[in-house]
Structure 1
C-alpha cells in the first residue's frame, strides 16, 4: 500500500463518552486514525474495545464527543443531521453482522432500495453479479442461504459506488466456509473498485488479509501492525 496515497478519512483525538445513569462510559479515548484510498484495514479488538463505536462515527451514524473527523475536504465533526445523512447516502456503504434484508423483497429489489436514491449507482443486476448472485436475482431472502443473504447485503452496500465500505463483523453469523466466501467477495471488490474498506472483528485471523491492522483496547488505539504478506481470503485458517 502506497503510504502517500490519498487520504479518504481521518480522525484526530477522537473521543466518545456515553452517560449511563450517573456513570460516564468512555467508549473512545483520543483515537487518531487515517484511512487511505483503496486500503483494506481491519480494526481488531475484544467486545467493549470501542471498535463498533469508532465504525459508527466513521460512517456518520454517531457523533464524537470531542476531536475531529474529516472526509476528504469535508469536516464532519460539526456536520448537521442533514449533512451526515447526505454523507451516508452518497459516500458510505455498510455491511453488518445481520443482513437486514427486507423479507418481502427479492434480492434485486433489496438492492434497488439503494440504487433508487443514489446519484450514479450500479444497476441491481450488476451489483449482484459482482458478488456472484446473478442467478439469484428474483429469490427472496428465505430462499437464500446465510452466506447468500450476506452477499446481497454487500451488493446493496456497493451498488451506490461508495468511497468507503464499513463492515461490522461481516462473518460473525456464518460458518468458516461461508465466511471465507464472503471475505473473498469483499477482497475482490477492494481489488477491483479501489474502494476503501474497514472491517471490524474480534477474529485476529481476518487481519492477515489487511493492508494494516488497527488494534483497539479500552477505547484507544493499542498499536497498528502491517502484515508481512497480505494473505488472500482463501488462505486464511481459523
Structure 2
C-alpha cells in the first residue's frame, strides 16, 4: 500500500496440506500476502480456493505446513505465529483477534448484552457491552434473547462480541453468507463502521465479487494460490453495493 499504513499480518510462502485417509489435500500453495493496520481487505475466491484455511492460519486457529506468519502489533512488536506455543496462540487470539463467522454461535439462554459480556470478562481492555452493541446499532436490543432477534441482528451481536475486546484484527468468514441481500448490506455497513471508528484491520472472506468493491484492497485466491491483488482507488460504501 502507498498510504503509509503499517503491516499487521504478513504471510510468506504459506503451504497447508491435509491428510484424508490415503489422499493429501493441498489447501494452500505458497501464499504471500499482508494485512495492514486500519485496512479493509476482501479475500475473494470460490469454494475450495483456500480462503478459509488462510484466514484460520492468520487467526492462529490452524498452522501452516510450511511458510511463516508474523503478527506486528500497533507498538511494532512482532510475533512469529508458526513458532508460538499453544499458550501464546491463545493469548494472541484473546487479545489481538476478533472472529466473525457465517453462523453466529450465540448462547440462546443469554441476552445480547450477556453474550457480549462473556468476551469482555476475559479481555484486557474491553469496551462495555452496551458500547459495543450501540456501535453495531443495537442499543435498544440489549436485553433481547437471540430468539427475539432477526438473523441480521444476531450477526450484529456476534460482531459486537468480536469487537468488544477492541482487537487490532477482525477476521470475518462469509459474514453475510446466511443473510438476505438487505440484511447482508446492513452487516457490511457495520463492518465499515468498525473499521472506520476503531481502526481495526478488517479482513472479509467471501465468494461474492461485489463485496470486493467496498475494500481498500482485494486479494483473489484460486486453487490455493494468490491469483491477483487489486487496490481500489475508491472504496464504494456498502449501501451502494448491488448483487
Q: Same fold (TM over 0.5)?
A: yes
Which residues of 2 match residues 89-108 of structure 1 at below 5 A?
89-108=94-113
Say which SS state the counterpart of residue 103 (structure 1) adopts: coil
Aligned mates of 2:238, 2:134 — CA distance in 1? 19
Q: What TM-score do the two structures reach when normalised by structure 1?
A: 0.98
Residue aligning to 1:31: 31
Say which SS state the counterpart of residue 77 (structure 1) adopts: helix
- Superposed displacement of residue 3, structure 1: 4.2
Residue aligning to 2:75: none
Say which SS state the counterpart of residue 24 (structure 1) adopts: strand
Say which SS state the counterpart of residue 176 (structure 2) adopts: coil
1:199 aligns with 2:204: yes
Q: CA RMSD in A?
A: 0.8
Aligned residue-pair number: 238
Which residues of 2 match residues 22-101 of structure 1 at below 5 A?
22-72=22-72, 73-101=78-106
Aligned mates of 2:117, 2:80 — CA distance in 1? 30
Segments of 5+ residues of structure 2 without an aligned counterpart are: 73-77
Aligned mates of 1:141, 1:2 — CA distance in 2? 43
- Superposed displacement of residue 34, structure 1: 0.8
Segments of 5+ residues of structure 1 without an aligned counterpart are: none
For 1:179, which of 171, 180, 184 is the aligned residue? 184
- Superposed displacement of residue 228, structure 1: 3.6
Which residues of 2 match residues 146-185 of structure 1 at below 5 A?
146-185=151-190
Q: What TM-score do the two structures reach when normalised by structure 2?
A: 0.96
- CA deviation profile, 1:127-179 (whole Å, cap 9, x unmatched): 00000101000000000000000000000000000000000000000000000
Aligned mates of 1:11, 1:142 — CA distance in 2? 40
Residue aligning to 2:242: 237
